A and B are shown apart, each in its own frame.
Chain A
């Protein structure tokens, strides 16, 4: 992404290595956009969790399916979308990891972390029919 362009589209393989790649790309863009170290960590981890969801739960690591990562700078916000080619899911159906009965489970905390680290978080059914996660962080200058 250059200073002229405001959007980057990346197509990722449904493999675990894509998680690090997506995080690296996003953190670099966040740095160029002026986010400090703590916010870069939060943005990077959120993208990491979103791509883990897409690769493992959405696409089930099926090499024929892709994960579509879009990063946009718009109206004082960094907007990240992660779309898979799975079946999609309804946010309300996701078990609450803070519930007593789920506290000691070994998975299921990714969405909690994305919600905690980003300013906005949403899930819709995307153009592929799979889940599209939208993560938004306001740019530092926009407060």
Chain B
């Protein structure tokens, strides 16, 4: 299943529903471009819904980190929603679980942004 991302705007927060693979040569570059594009447009409150992500490798993890720092350096916040067990395990191994703000339901993620 290849990488796919669609975004929704909810009260000024951009929720991106990501599905498929975030890997080197597949979704990583697309994810990077997408976050940069949103940031350049001033969309600085972002929730990445990873519930339908089937696979992520170290390159994909790197892009999540890169997206996180890009948005943060622009004065915004990027949060993660609905991690699968595999993605959750990867974030635990890489100690990134404590870096990201991770949520299990959308309303919690939306409510966590500073107004």
Please give the residue numbers on chain A whose beta carbons come within 8 Å of chain B beta carbons, in ascending order: 16-17, 19-20, 41, 45, 48-49, 52, 97-98, 103-107, 109-110, 112-113, 116
Contact = CB atoms under 8 A, between A and B. Distances in A.
B40 interface: no
B58 A113 contact: yes
A97 B90 CA distance: 13
A107 B62 CA distance: 5
Contacts of A52: 24, 57-59
A120 B87 CA distance: 22
Interface in B53-85: 57-59, 61-63, 65-66, 68-69
Contacts of A17: 25
A45 B57 contact: yes
Contact of B62 (A19, A45, A109): A109
Given A41-B86, A97-B94, A49 B25 contact: no
Given A16-B25, A52-B58, A52-B59, A109 B86 contact: no
B25 A113 contact: no
A98 B65 contact: no
B66 A106 contact: yes
Contact of A116 (B24, B57, B93, B96): B93
A109 B25 contact: no
B94 A98 contact: yes
A59 B59 CA distance: 18
B95 interface: yes
B99 interface: yes
A73 to B, nearest CB: 25
A109 B61 contact: yes
B95 A98 contact: yes
A41 to B, nearest CB: 7
A105 to B, nearest CB: 7
Given A104-B69, A113-B93, 5 more contacts: A45-B57, A104-B99, A109-B58, A109-B94, A113-B94
Given A16-B24, A103-B96, A48 B57 contact: yes
Contact of A49 (B57, B65, B69, B99): B57
